[in-house]
Amino acid sequence: MQFFLEVLIGGLLSGVMYSFVALGFVLIYKASGVFNFAQGAMVFFAALTFVGILEMGVPFWGALILAFGAMVLLGIGTERIVLRPMVNQPPIALFMATIGLTFFVEGLAQAMWGASVRGLDLGIQDEPIEWMMETTGIGVSKFDLFAAGVAAVLVTALALFFQYTRVGRALRAVADDHQAALSIGIPLQTIWRIVWAVAGFVALVAGLIWGARNGVQFALVFTALKALPVLILGGFTSVPGAIVGGLIIGSTEKLAEVYLGAYVGGGIDSWFPYVMALAFLLVRPEGLFGEKHIDRV
């Protein structure tokens, strides 16, 4: 039982890490209906920029603000150069554009800061919490718990923002119907700039947490792939869905690895989430919390 709990908690917490990346996808998809393939590259860009600025001798908070600024600039640039000329194009064209953007952002990050792997220390150790270890015998990493806390704050803030603010409402309106939003005077360009900036911020947070965990390296780009099953499970349009999806994927992949892996030779946690996503698509294609497609008949 103790072992089961430890695996479960470890899985849930690693799921939070996936949620961070999934969140970025959700934000942009929600507000512009674009599946932003470049989200992984943005995570990489953000982490590398942050570390690069840190290495120049700027203190932590200063680097955080500067890196955020860089992400905002990247977002505004994307809106101006990539999205604006493509208004009213089919979604697939926008999707292709974001694939192009991926390679550009990857290249830009490495051109600016070099391609070597860097360490990142957020000052929180990846070690079990002692009193918990002593009282219950379950090892829970301090770092994982910290990441979960950050995720909770981030999601609450985003959910409130989308639900109750004027700009948040406008973001959802734009996602539903560009033309109608335009007709009532919502400036699409401003909205898109805001949403890309927010997605950039989420990418930065994801980059910091992943970077501190695994080192700031090119492999961060592939975090985006792990976010896909999370999105399919949670729904592309739901902020809480990204978190719940992450938790489910994280915990089941670890549990499957531990309890089922032995029968098939192990290593199943790398593909198990995708099988789950596939099965899920058959049953509930809009995801657990995704918006149902409303069609009047």
Partner 1 sequence: MTTTTQHGEAADRYLTINNIEVIYDHVILVLKGVSLEVPKGRIVALLGANGAGKSTTLKAISNLLGAERGDVTKGDIVFKGTRVDRMTPNELVKRGVIQVMEGRHCFAHLTLEENLLCGAYTRGISRTELRQSLEMVYHYFPRLKQRRMTQAGYTSGGEQQMCAIGRALMAKPEMILLDEPSMGLAPQIVEEIFEIVRNLNQSERVSFLLAEQNTMVALRYADFGYILENGRVVMEGDAKELAANEDVKEFYLGLSSAGRKSFREVKHYRRRKRWLS
Q: Which is nearer to partner 1, 12 or 28 (CB)?
A: 28
Q: Which is nearer to partner 1, 82 or 206 (CB)?
A: 82
Residue 84 tokens read as 């604006």
Cβ at position 184, least distance to partner 1 in Å: 5
**Percent of residues in the chain assigned helix, strand, coil, to nearest 5:** 75, 0, 20
Q: Which is nearer to partner 1, 76 or 173 (CB)?
A: 173
Cβ at position 187, least distance to partner 1 in Å: 4
Three-state DSSP string of 19-80: HHHHHHHHHHHHHHCCCCCCHHHHHHHHHHHHHHHHHCCCCHHHHHHHHHHHHHHHHHHHHH
Cβ at position 174, least distance to partner 1 in Å: 9
Cβ at position 107, least distance to partner 1 in Å: 32
Q: Which is nearer to partner 1, 114 or 187 (CB)?
A: 187
Q: Which is nearer to partner 1, 135 or 179 (CB)?
A: 179
> Under the rule (CB under 8 A), what is the footprint of partner 1?
87-88, 166, 169-170, 172-173, 175-187, 291, 294, 296
Q: What residue type is 230 in one-letter code?
A: V
Please return the burial class of 157, using the count of CB atoms within 10 Å of its CB with bins 0-12, 13-18 and 19+.
exposed
Cβ at position 238, least distance to partner 1 in Å: 11
Determine the Cα–Cα distance for residues 42 and 21; give it in Å rounded to an integer. 10
Q: Which is nearer to partner 1, 116 or 293 (CB)?
A: 293
Count of all residues that appear for the chain in the document: 297
Cβ at position 240, least distance to partner 1 in Å: 15
DSSP reduced 3-state for 10:
helix
